[in-house]
Amino acid sequence: MFMFVTGPAALLAALLVCCSGQAGAQDYEREARWAQETLAALVVGEPVQIEQKNGHRFMGLYTRPAKEPMGAVIVAHGRGWGPDFELYGVLRTTLADAGYATLSIQLPVLPGTAKIGDYLPMFPDSNERFALAVRWLRAKGYKRVAIVSHSLGATMANQYLITAPDPGVDAWVFISIINGLEEMFRIKVPVLDIYGTRDWQVTRYGGAERRAQIDRHPGSEQVVIEGAEHFYEQQTDELTRVIAAFLGRVLK
């Protein structure tokens, strides 16, 4: 179920009502706080909410480029962050400037003390959020959809792409993926693997193995950005350029 809200205040009120009193491993209150902070500072893009089968509504930030879009991109953040936090706010807006509609989505969050392994039980929920985001963009009329994902968000996107019977995605960009690339043979779309020479060790480790898999996958490539750290501080322009070049080639 898709829900549109006419303004940030209305969206925040709906999210707070939806999240209050919900039990489970997820930190819905922290998710609602992310929404509050995001909406208070939002300048570019339209806030929307998308309802899951359990009744929970998660936030997305939809940004349409000034010219006719060349396709649509789902932006997926890393562990515990929100859809407009630093790198993700940059990606959703610079990719829109490059000609792509973007939908930056809130993925499941746990308490701030949670480790990466604690997120494994969240994969079914993140799978559902990706599927709903794809459906949302398809309903808007976009025929070509890609995922651009970072860190744990890339790991979650990997899980979605290898488990969904029909992911509905035409390309996948994974930036500084955590814990490797799983079951590449199940992924039927071109992929772009990006990481930095000063990235986290967990990302740099396995780069050669990922490259060996990617080289067997038509249209896919790996790009290593010299000097880049995990969040690409001071190098987001180069990161966007690499992503836009790939999308321009595969989303035709």
According to the model, what pLDDT value does residue 113 have?
Answer: 87
- Domains of the chain, by residue range, sit at 2-250
* Residue matched to tokens 């480029």: 65
Average pLDDT of span 6-35: 59
Q: What is the pLDDT of residues 179-226, one digit of tens each?
A: 889 999 999 999 999 999 999 999 999 999 999 999 999 999 999 999
* Bridge partner residues of 3 (DSSP): 49
**2-250 CATH fold:** Rossmann fold (3.40.50)
Evaluate if residue 43 carries a pLDDT over 90.
yes
Instruction: Count helices and strands (H / E) in the chain.
Output: 8, 9
Residue type at 138? R
Structure pTM? 0.90
* Bridge partner residues of 96 (DSSP): none
Structure tokens at 206: 């396995």
Percent of the chain clearing pLDDT 90 (strictly above): 83
